[in-house]
Amino acid sequence: MTTAKPADLVLTGGAVRTMDPVRSQAQAVAVTDGRITFVGTAAAAQAHVGPRTRVVDLRGRTLLPSFQDAHVHPSMAGPNLARCPLHELTHSLASYQEAIRAAVIRQKGEWILGDGWYMAAFPGGTPSRHDLDAATDGRPAFFENRDGHGAWVNTAALARAGITRDTPDPADGRIEREPDGTPQGTLHEGAMEIVRRLIPAPTKDEIADGIELAQQYLFGLGVTAWQDAWVEPRHLEAYRLLAEQGRLVGRTIANHWWDRERGGEQIDEIVERRAYGTLGRLTSSTVKMMLDGVAENYTAAMLHPYLGPDGRSTGNRGISFIDPEALKRHVTRLDALGFQVHFHALGDRAVREGLDAVEAARGANGMSDTRPHLAHLQFVDPADVPRFRTLGAAANFQPFWACNDDQMLALTKPFVDARTYGNQYLLRSLHRSGAVVVGGSDWSVSTPNVMAEIEVAVTHRSPELRDRDVFLPDERIDLPEALAMWTVGSAWVNHLEHETGTIEVGKAADLAVLDRDIFAADAGHLGDVRVLLTLVEGNAVHEDPGLEA
């Protein structure tokens, strides 16, 4: 016997983790007209099967709400997939040079472009122009590192930009130098812009094609909604084009990029762009503000000074990219206009300055549903942990970095004091405080593979270095908490929790099937899990041949 209208799709015989408020479990889900119409037992699901219903036997595999990435860069990562990505290569100069030589033949433009090199692959995290010269055949080259806070450039690029030993460091960056002051080939933070502004910008169509490529890549990892954390007007035009043409399938929150070289006068422009950037599954009511840099190049804003190679204080506390008092004014006005603010806040001083700005906005405007969130949070002073819940600010983590990888051991641990070192990636502390904790990958800075991110959140070991000591074991979280970060947690920060993020009747059928029961005793490593099926409103946007093999 069937219901009045049989389901279009029934997924049955699985380990259904609904992620609903009581974290209930089920065996089957039915989908009709893109909505979830049944959640329950496999036996009861049969009532929803009609002659045209597709029935997928899950064979005990995990069915989840599809993942949501609260901090990712599709509009940049996508186009870079077609250039010279270095992310997946062995972390060595030789492997990078081999890939770059191939790109020199393949890339037809004047410049050789790519990204994704790993700081720990080079002494001091600073690759030399001479090594890039050897692979680029005299053409100017610009390669961002995987965290986007530094660039490797060759001699031709430096000459094109007029950077010499007499060029001063910009206020928001640094030119790495050889002993005689000659530019060495690594540009940090704002110094990158001296070269980058010379590179021809991709066209709207090229950006749109890149976003579409990134979208499909994310679908293959079970990700169907995201916050693009760096959207300039040209990126927003590409997103709008995709939305108009029906090519934007993922739920996208475009973050207007805050130009830190300007002030509050840009807010009126952002207000105008908000309406333009809202169409279909595209929304744009978030502003991204970068408050500091990264610890590895000593630009993360810290409460305590960095240490030098001798273990002594250098007096350098990093850089606050936006004046803290101006930040309060800007955030207060944005909040009053209904914008969510998304902060890059990596150092503990940057975290405090971000929270202070949210507090100023709450004091002036009252509590609201703007849902500000602070991303990265590598260092958080324990005194600031309870403020997240009090202020209604979410903690947006990229847990893949919370491990004893080479970058942590060689470029971070020696240069911060022991107290500060122990205040890294306070995942568990923030969970216990009652804060909303959400997950983001920061791809292409690190992998967008959510299951790999979750493995590190749970184990504090890198999937590539599973034999190393556990990093700060007291800050690990359990698997249900980690799953919540990438489902119901990120859905909340994306203002999508009424539509997605849990498996409940009436919600959109945005779902993901994994290749095993991830809670089983013999499940193996979480980072090795594959996504076999990804649905957006019941439509398959990714399907692995192994789903029904």
Residue that is last in its domain, among 167, 196, 225: 196
Residue that is last in its domain, among 162, 196, 230: 196
> Does pLDDT of 264 surpass 50?
yes
Phi, psi dihedrals of residue 145, rounded to the nearest 5°: -80, 175
- Least Cα distance to 428 among 470, 467, 391, 460 occurs for 460
Task: Give the pLDDT of residue 148.
Answer: 81
Q: Specify if 373 maps to a domain.
A: yes
Residue that is last in its domain, among 137, 167, 196: 196
Range of the domain at 127: 111-196
CA-to-CA distance for 120 and 123, rounded, in angstroms?
Answer: 7
Query: Pseudo-torsion of CA 267, 269, 272, 278, nearest 10°?
Result: -80
Q: Specify if 261 maps to a domain.
A: yes
Does one domain contain both 214 and 362? yes
Confidence class of residue 538 from pLDDT cuts 50, 70 and 90? very high
Confidence class of residue 165 from pLDDT cuts 50, 70 and 90? very high
Q: Specify if 62 maps to a domain.
A: yes
CA-to-CA distance for 144 and 153, rounded, in angstroms?
Answer: 9
- Least Cα distance to 284 among 315, 253, 261, 322 occurs for 253
Which tokens go with 530? 């594959």
Q: Specify if 18 maps to a domain.
A: yes
CA-to-CA distance for 291 and 258, rounded, in angstroms?
Answer: 10
Task: Give the pLDDT of residue 446.
Answer: 87
What is the CATH classification number for the domain harbouring 148? 3.10.310.70
Mean pLDDT of 94-109: 92
Cis-peptide, bond into residue 444, ω within 30° of zero: yes
Q: If DSSP codes are grouped into helix, strand and coil, which group holds residue 313?
A: strand
CA-to-CA distance for 405 and 448, rounded, in angstroms?
Answer: 18
Does one domain contain both 442 and 296? yes
Does one domain contain both 163 and 274? no
Q: Where would I find the H helices in 46-114? A: 74-81, 93-106
CA-to-CA distance for 500 and 126, rounded, in angstroms?
Answer: 43
Q: Are 382 and 402 in contact (CB under 8 A)?
A: no
Does one domain contain both 398 and 481? yes
Query: In this predicted model, what pLDDT tens digit does every residue of 355-410 receive, in sequence order?
Result: 999 999 999 999 999 999 999 999 999 999 999 999 999 999 999 999 999 899 99
Q: Specify if 91 maps to a domain.
A: no
Q: Are 424 and 405 in contact (CB under 8 A)?
A: no
Phi, psi dihedrals of residue 471, rounded to the nearest 5°: -85, 125
- Count of structural domains within the chain: 3
What mean pLDDT is reported for the chain? 96
What is the CATH classification number for the domain harbouring 424? 3.20.20.140
Task: Give the pLDDT of residue 376.
Answer: 98
What is the CATH classification number for the domain harbouring 527? 2.30.40.10
Q: Specify if 248 maps to a domain.
A: yes
- What pTM was estimated for this model as a whole? 0.87
Query: In this predicted model, what pLDDT tens digit does every residue of 324-339 receive, in sequence order?
Result: 999 999 999 999 999 9
Query: In this predicted model, what pLDDT tens digit does every residue of 176-235 receive, in sequence order?
Result: 999 999 999 999 999 999 999 999 888 999 999 999 999 999 999 999 999 999 999 999
Does one domain contain both 460 and 485? yes
Does one domain contain both 136 and 266? no
Q: Specify if 4 maps to a domain.
A: no
How many residues make up the chain in this entry?
A: 549
Of the chain, the percentage scoring pLDDT greater than 90 comes to 91
Does one domain contain both 234 and 177? no
Q: Specify if 367 maps to a domain.
A: yes
The number of C-alpha atoms within 13 Å of 549 and in the hemisphere containing its C-beta is 8
- Least Cα distance to 404 among 461, 457, 456 occurs for 461
Does one domain contain both 365 and 318? yes
Does one domain contain both 366 and 416? yes
Mean pLDDT of 24-43: 98
Mean pLDDT of 453-458: 98
Does one domain contain both 215 and 340? yes
CA-to-CA distance for 29 and 548, rounded, in angstroms?
Answer: 17
Does one domain contain both 123 and 161? yes
Alpha-carbon 231 to chain mean position: 13
Q: Are 523 and 531 in contact (CB under 8 A)?
A: no
Does one domain contain both 281 and 192? no
Confidence class of residue 1 from pLDDT cuts 50, 70 and 90? very low
